[in-house]
Structure 1
Amino acid sequence: MRVLILNTDYEAFLDDLYAENPGLAESSYDRQMAVRNASLFGAADFYSRGLRANGVEAADVHLNNKAMQLRWAAEHGLRIDPSDKPEPQGFSAKMRRLFGRGQNRTPQLMAMPGWTRDVMIAQIEDFRPDVILNQVMHFVSAESLRSLVGERCLLVGQIAAPWHEPEDDLGYDLIATSLPNYVQKFERRGIRTFYNQLGFAPSVLASLPEGERDLAVTFVGTLSSHHADRIRLLEFLAERTSLNIWGMGIEQVSKDSPIHGCYRGQAWGREMFEIFRRSQIVINQHIGIAGAYANNMRLYEATGCGAALLTDRKTNLRELFDVGSEVVDYGDPEECLAGIDALIGDPTRSAEIGNKGQMRTCRDHTYEQRTAELKAKFAEMLN
C-alpha cells in the first residue's frame, strides 16, 4: 500500500524555519524535509513514520513550502514558473486537458499559485499512491483531486477544524476525523466516516532536554475568534495566577487584555514540546467546534511530555484518560483556578498525575497505533 499525505504549514512557521536555518532553501529536497520534520511542528512526519512502521509506503508533501517544493521540481527535471500567478505560462497541455481553462471544474486547484498546483500534480504522478490522505481539505478540494486521479486511488479527507464547504464532502471515499460530533455530522449526510483520534510520538522525548519543571502554569495554543471561550478563560487566569502563554494570534486579543502581560511569544514544534517538558501544569481548552468532546492535540502532547494536564470537562474524556489520576478536568474558570491552586499546593500529586498521564499516552495514544487503525481501514476499502 502506498499513501501520499498532503499537508501545509503556517506561513509564520515557514518564515521562522528558514530564517533560523540560513542556506536551507538552497539545500536538497531531502535535507529540507529532514530539517522541517526535526522541527517537530504540527504533525511533523508522525503519520508517515507511523504508517511506515506498520508496513505502508508513505510520503509527505507540504504543498505551500515553496523552497522545498521547487527543489523537488528541480531535482525531478520539471520546469516550473515560481511566480504566484494562478496560471503560469508553462501550463501544460496535459494540465489543460485535466483542468480545462475557464470550465470552473476545479476552482480550488485553479486558484492555487501555479507552482503549487504543478508540483503537486507531478508528485502525485511520481508517487502513484493507492491512497491520498488530504489533511488540508480547505486548501485543495476533493473535486480537484478526483479530477486528477479519477478512481485509480482511494481519496481520504482528514479534518478536525472549522469547516464550511460541505458541498465538497461527497467527493471523498472516506473522511477521517478525531471529533465524534463530526463523525455524526458526516454520517447524517451519508458520507463514509472513520473516527481516528489524534496522538503522540514518544520518539519526541529522546530529542528534548531533561531538566526541572520550572514553569508552574503554561498554555501554548492559538488565540483567535474561534477561541472566544479560551480567551476568556486565559484572561481570568492571567489576573489570578502565574500563567505563561505562548501562541499565535496575539494581535487579535484586545490591547487592554491581561493576556499581554503573560504572553511570551510564539512557540513552534520543538520549542512547544520543551515548554511542556518544563511545565508543572498545562492548561487545555478546546475550540468551540469540539462541542462536548475532548479531541485536540494538546491532550496528548502535554501528557506525553509528563506535565499535569488541566483540561476542560468533556463527555468522552474518561474514555481517553482516568480523570483525577491521569489528568484533571474543570467545568468553568473558577474550577480551573481551584485546580491550579490545588496542584501547585501539592507538587507530589501534580508530579504523579504528570507521570501517570505520560504512561497512559505513551501506551494507548501513539501515532503508530493511530496509523495502524488507518491502515486497516484503507486496506478494508481497497479490498
Structure 2
Amino acid sequence: MRLFQNSGLYPSYLAHLNQLAAEASSFEERRRIFLDDRFGALHFLKPVLDQAPEAFFTNGDDETLQRYWAREQGLPGKPTLEVILLAQIEHHRTEVFYNLDPVRYPSAFVGKLPGCVRKTFCWRAAPSGNADLTAYGAVLGNFPSILESWRQRGCRAELFFPALDPLMDEYGHGERTIDVLFVGGYSRHHTARAKTLEQVARSADTRRIVYCLDASRLTKLSESAIGAWLPLQRHRRPDSIVKIAKPPVFGRQFYELIGSSKIVLNGAINMAGTDRGNMRCFEAMGCGALLVSDAGGYPDGMEPGLTIETYASPQAATEIVSRCLQDWPKSAEMAGRGRSRVREAYSKASQWKRFGDLAARV
C-alpha cells in the first residue's frame, strides 16, 4: 500500500518547530526534525514512524516545509499550498490518502486528487461547522456521537483510535516530582474545564501543581500591564491560575513532563456529549501518569476505579486528587495498570492493522 499521510500544525506549535528547525534548509531535514519531536505521533500510522519507503508524510499547512519541497522539485513560480500537496501526492503515486487536516482540505480537494489515489480517509473528532467531507471514503474518529453526526451529513464514518507512540516507553521510570499536571487550552470557551482547573489550583500552596496553558492573544493582553486598563476582564484568568501558569509544551518535552508527574488532570470541552477519550487520556496513560478526568463514556482500557479516576464536579476533582496523592503507592499501582492496559489495546501494530482492514473494505 502506497500511503500518504497529511497533517497540520497548531500555530503555537509552529513557533516551537521553527526554533527546533532553525538550521534546517531542506524538506527532508525539517520533516525529520518534526517527526523526531513526536508532536501528534499518536495519529501517525506505523509505516510513517518506521520511515517505510512506500509511505510519505507531510504537514500540508507548513509553508516553510512545503516550499522546500516545491523548490527542490523545480515547481515554477509560487504555487499555492494546495497545488504543492497535490503535486506531492502525484509524485508519490499515492494509493491511499489519509488526511488529518480535512477542514483545510475538504471534499473539493478530494475531487482534485490524481487518478492513482484509490482510497481516501480523513480523521475528524471535533465539530467542524459546515465543512463538507462527503467525498472521503470514510471519516475516522473515536467519538461515537461525532461519528454519528457525520453520518447524518452523508458521510461514511468509522470508529478508529489513536495509538501509543512506542517512544513513550522511555519516559516515566524515574521520580515523579510534579503532583498534578495540566497541559492544554484555557479560555472562556472551556467553562467546565476552567472551573475544575481553578478549584485544583487553589491547593498549589501545599502541592506542586503545574499548568502549561496555551492562552489566547486576548488572554495574554488582558493580563499585561496595559491590559489592566482595558475592558478585558472576561479574558483574564483567576489569580490562582495565573500564579502557576507556564507556557505550553509539546512533543518530547511534553512526554518528559508527563513522565515526571504523578497525576495528569484532564477535562473535556463539551464537544462530544458524554463521549470521552481525547488525546490527553492516551498521552497521560502512555507515559505512566494517573489520569484524573471528568466522568463520561471512556474507550476500552480506561476504566474508572481500575485504570483511571473520574470526577463529576470541580469539588470532586479536588477531593479525588487529594485522596490519590495521600495514598500514592496505591494510586501508582492504578497508573501502572492503566499504562499496561492502553499499551496492549492501542499499539501501533493494532492501529495499522485496523487501518488496513478499513482500506480493504471501504
Q: Normalization by structure 1: what TM-score?
A: 0.83
Q: Is the 8 A contact 1:226 1:288 kept in 2?
A: no
Match of 1:221 among 184, 197, 220: 184
Q: What residue is the counterpart of 1:3 in the other structure?
A: 3
The whole-number CA distance in structure 2 between the counterparts of 1:201 and 1:78 is: 35
Match of 2:295 among 313, 316, 321: 313
The whole-number CA distance in structure 1 between the counterparts of 2:140 and 2:308 is: 26
The whole-number CA distance in structure 1 between the counterparts of 2:246 and 2:292 is: 20
The whole-number CA distance in structure 2 between the counterparts of 1:20 and 1:151 is: 35
Measure how far apart 1:151 and its partner are. Answer: 8.8
Aligned partner of 1:35: which letter? Answer: I
Where do 5+ consecutive residues of structure 1 fail to align? 82-113
Structure 1 segments of 4+ aligned residues over 4 angstroms from their partners: 50-56, 250-253
1:1-383 matched pairs, under 5 angstroms: 1-24=1-24, 26=25, 28-43=26-41, 47-49=44-46, 57-81=54-78, 114-149=79-114, 152-166=117-131, 168-206=132-170, 208=171, 210-241=173-204, 242=207, 243-249=209-215, 251=217, 253=219, 254-257=235-238, 258-317=240-299, 319-381=300-362
Aligned partner of 1:131: which letter? Answer: V
Do the aligned partners of residues 316 and 16 (structure 1) sit closer, same or farther apart at CA in structure 2, a change above 3 Å counting?
closer
Do the aligned partners of residues 295 and 263 (structure 1) sit closer, same or farther apart at CA in structure 2, a change above 3 Å counting?
same
Which is richer in helix?
Answer: 1
The whole-number CA distance in structure 2 between the counterparts of 1:224 and 1:40 is: 26
Question: Root-mean-square deviation (CA), in Å?
Answer: 2.4
Q: Is the 8 A contact 2:96 2:120 kept in 1?
A: yes
Per-residue CA deviation, residues 261-303 of structure 1 (Å, 9 max, x unaligned), is 1211110111111111000011011121121011211111101
The whole-number CA distance in structure 2 between the counterparts of 1:320 and 1:349 is: 18
Aligned partner of 1:160: which letter? Answer: A
- Which secondary structure state, in structure 1, belongs to the residue aligned with residue 6 of structure 2? strand
Measure how far apart 1:333 and its partner are. Answer: 0.8
Aligned partner of 1:75: which letter? Answer: E
Range that drifts further, 349-358 or 255-264:
255-264
Q: What residue is the counterpart of 1:92 in the other structure?
A: none
Q: Normalization by structure 2: what TM-score?
A: 0.87
The whole-number CA distance in structure 2 between the counterparts of 1:54 and 1:34 is: 10
What is the number of residues matched between the two proteins?
Answer: 343
The whole-number CA distance in structure 2 between the counterparts of 1:76 and 1:338 is: 58
The whole-number CA distance in structure 1 between the counterparts of 2:54 and 2:117 is: 17
Do the aligned partners of residues 55 and 250 (structure 1) sit closer, same or farther apart at CA in structure 2, a change above 3 Å counting?
closer
Do the aligned partners of residues 251 and 244 (structure 1) sit closer, same or farther apart at CA in structure 2, a change above 3 Å counting?
farther
Do the aligned partners of residues 56 and 338 (structure 1) sit closer, same or farther apart at CA in structure 2, a change above 3 Å counting?
farther
Do the aligned partners of residues 209 and 342 (structure 1) sit closer, same or farther apart at CA in structure 2, a change above 3 Å counting?
closer
The whole-number CA distance in structure 1 between the counterparts of 2:277 and 2:304 is: 15
Per-residue CA deviation, residues 333-352 of structure 1 (Å, 9 max, x unaligned), is 11111110111100101211
Q: Is the 8 A contact 2:45 2:351 kept in 1?
A: no
Do the aligned partners of residues 30 and 48 (structure 1) sit closer, same or farther apart at CA in structure 2, a change above 3 Å counting?
farther
Q: Is the 8 A contact 1:202 1:304 kept in 2?
A: no
The whole-number CA distance in structure 1 between the counterparts of 2:179 and 2:337 is: 18
The whole-number CA distance in structure 1 between the counterparts of 2:182 and 2:302 is: 20
Measure how far apart 1:9 and its partner are. Answer: 0.8
The whole-number CA distance in structure 2 between the counterparts of 1:118 and 1:170 is: 21
Aligned partner of 2:13: which letter? Answer: F
The whole-number CA distance in structure 2 between the counterparts of 1:151 and 1:59 is: 14
Q: Is the 8 A contact 1:47 1:371 kept in 2?
A: no
Where do 5+ consecutive residues of structure 2 fail to align? 220-234
The whole-number CA distance in structure 2 between the counterparts of 1:275 and 1:299 is: 15
The whole-number CA distance in structure 1 between the counterparts of 2:190 and 2:218 is: 11
Aligned partner of 1:211: which letter? Answer: G
Measure how far apart 1:36 and its partner are. Answer: 0.6
Q: Is the 8 A contact 2:301 2:338 kept in 1?
A: no
Q: Is the 8 A contact 2:281 2:291 kept in 1?
A: yes
